[in-house]
A and B are shown apart, each in its own frame.
Chain A
Amino acid sequence: MNALALPVVLPLLAAFLVRPAGLASGSLARWFGPLVLLLCAGMLVDTALLTHGQPVSANIGGFAPPLGIVFYADSLALLFAIAVPAFALLLWPREAMQAGGDRISALMLLLVGSGTGMALSGDLFNLYVFYELLAVASFGLVASSGSARAWAATVRYLLISGFGSVLALVGVALIYAQTGTLNLAQLSEFAPERLANPLGLAAFACLLIGFGVKAELFPVNAWVPEVYATAPKRVSALLAGVVSKLAILVVLRLILLVFDLPEARQSLLVLGLIGLVSGELAAWRARDLPRMLAFSSIGQLGLLFMAVSIPGVLGLIAALAVALHHLLMKPALFLLAERWSGGLENLAGAGRKAPLAAGLFTLFALSLLGVPPLPGFWAKLVLLLGLGQQDAVLAQAAIFGVLLMAVVEAHYLFRLVGLLYAKTAHGAPPHRMGDLAVASLLGAILVASMPLLPALAQGLGWMAHQASDVAAYRAVTLGSTIPGVAP
């Protein structure tokens, strides 16, 4: 499956070429990016159909791992890899379609290439390189609205992200110094012997903080509210929806393959719980919609970290369910918030002027809360079941925290929905057709998934089984013969 490299490389190639294309013809530069993304999404779907979701790998450069870098595509990796170009197409920034938008197009293409790489790569340092590329591209996209506040927010984001990157690099170095390899499959062989010690846990903590910056993990999420409030809403939607999930996917792979330690899982549970509580409480106090969504996103990702911390297949299913649910919800909510920024009190009666937008918002709010029979309910239910399986006091405290925060969430979301339908005149501009269409599409997927839930649950279970099969990961990436590298 050597062609597995193409969906990562073609967006990079297109990003390099987009500006010369802009010199030749403006409309060529405008449509170039989306077309390449369509091609990449098509190739990934084709790979998924061709392999029937069975794991495959590709040796980049033709060198067998662990010497070379390997890409690994199981159904989990392919699912997120397809989500990157697909959501980038849905959320393609309006600025990129205007004159002089070729730089933004190039950054979007770099974001997609690196994001797909993060989903597929099976090498720790390669993951770090793609993560850096993703970070630098997102700085530009966040600053692209051009206002002074957006720049101030970007500088803060840049500093926190840079701090995280340095720590992640320290983590990679600590792991390499202990094991002498960077290949995830080989690391999974060495880990029980060489990384199950305080130094290994320190390496995990460094990597967790580093990758946690994009996943809005508790101590390194101070950039979130300002950036989401000032960046173009489509970029916020992409960062909160897709980019955060890619960072979580890396943490998930690390937990599954390398750091399958109770201490590592506990730290995820604690940080996730703090993120959930602080995010939801801050969202409750927020006074404008974009900030409220940003804080609620911190809370939701805290929930996701808690799901990742649950051991076994049930935990993986919970993590997948929460992640996919959030992947659909947050972009749609940010698109709806585009015309509803400003103070919450200005939104009084907005729903009467924009019934479709308000209806969609209510639907998403209900699913976010976890009202049955919407998919959000099932996601939260699996999470609570997974937490309930453990007898640790911490897990019970976490269940209590999740339920309590659901009440807080219900209070601020219902207050907002009530405001939307208040009987006052309202003068907000109507939503753009494109935004409403994308939000409706995501809403339709959400509703359509309800009758399909049994099939979906089965699919997620199968995916979770496959992803937690470490032996298969090793067999597929390293092949039957491991080249002469005795430890």
Chain B
Amino acid sequence: MKKIAFALAAVLGLSVSMAHAGDKIRIGTEGAYPPFNGIDKDGKAFGFDVDIANALCAEMKAECEIIAPLDWDSILIGLKKKKYDAVVASMSITEERKKAVDFTEPYYSNNLTLVAKKGSSVDPANLAGKAVGAQRATIAANYVTDELKDVDAKLYDTQENAYLDLASGRIDLLVSDKLPAYDWLRSEQGQGFEFIGDAIDVNDKIGIAVRKKDDELREKFNAAIKAIVANGTYAKINEKYFPFSIY
């Protein structure tokens, strides 16, 4: 049964993309990265990515179908095999991925941020000698080791352990992706902490992936992104999830 459904989806995906213009656009998302994309109890996709995708479709006056959940590792393979026409799944635009697919203009940016205890006198411009934590193998960790050379760097295997040491005071400061950290600040453990300084731009832009040379769809998305940002739809969706702009 699973196999049949699989084959059917492939055939459908193929036919849809062949009869592209004016037809249904199939949008894939992962469904495992809340609050950006998730799957609710009824199996329906929700989240920032999904809301943006729906807003874009409304703007393009196109009929859309959200396909989720999808495996992150093979999400671009499904796109190439025409099981869906676009991926709206908080995907960072990287050189490596650009070899396989094309990206639209970014629809949000992932910044790094510094997190410290409320009222602490940490000065973002002068961190020498401070104990600074980050999760190993992340952009945040690279930032700590490359940009903050004279700090006492502590690398953690999970973000949770880094939060624990921030809470216990072993580290003065945490460098983290801003949006997950925002979730932590709202948790009970994160109550006494706050963002300090400005968000750090690490040029991590999130875009919509489309197949190579599918320029028509890409341009339509680009125009729609511009339009929803201009007409306030984007701000409304943004507000639903974050009290600061993530565009």
Do A and B associate with each other?
no
> Measuring CB to CB, which residues of chain B are less than 8 angstroms from any residue of chain A?
none
